[in-house]
Amino acid sequence: MPHSAPCPLTQLARQAKAAIYSLLLINPVLLAQPLLASETLPSTVCEQFPTIAVDTGKRSEDKDWQGTQQLSPTVSILVLAGHADLQTSGTNGQAVADGADPMQPGMTDEAFWNLATAQRIARLGRQRGLNIFFYDPFFYDPVVRHIPDNDAPRTNWSTGKRHVEAGGYALEIHYNAYSPDGTGSGIIPRVHEGQTVIDEYLASEFGAFPLDFRRGNLGAPRRGITILEVGNLEGDLEEKLRDTATRDRALNAIADRIVTAIEKTPIAKAIGACSTPLPTR
Ligand SMILES: [Zn+2]
How many CA atoms lie less than 13 Å away from 41 in the CB half-sphere?
Answer: 10
Rounded distance between C-alpha atoms, residue 217 and residue 26, angstroms: 63
Q: What's the pTM?
A: 0.82
Q: What is the pLDDT of residues 139-150, one digit of tens each?
A: 666 566 778 788
Pair 199, 187: CB distance under 8 Å:
yes
What spacing in Å lies between the alpha carbon of 230 and ligand 1's midpoint? 10
What would the pLDDT profile of 114-141 be if each residue is shown by its tens digit?
999 999 999 999 999 999 999 998 866 6
Give the Å distance between the CA of 157 and the centre of ligand 1. 13
What is the Å distance from ligand 1's center to 181 Cα? 13
CATH number of 77-263: 3.40.630.40
pLDDT tens digits, one per residue of 67-99: 999 999 999 999 999 999 876 789 999 999 999
- Residues, the chain, total? 281
CA 34, 37, 42 angle in degrees (round to 5)? 150
Yes or no: say if 49 and 277 are a contact pair by the CB < 8 Å rule.
yes
Residues near ion ligand 1 (Cβ under 5 Å) = 82, 90, 174
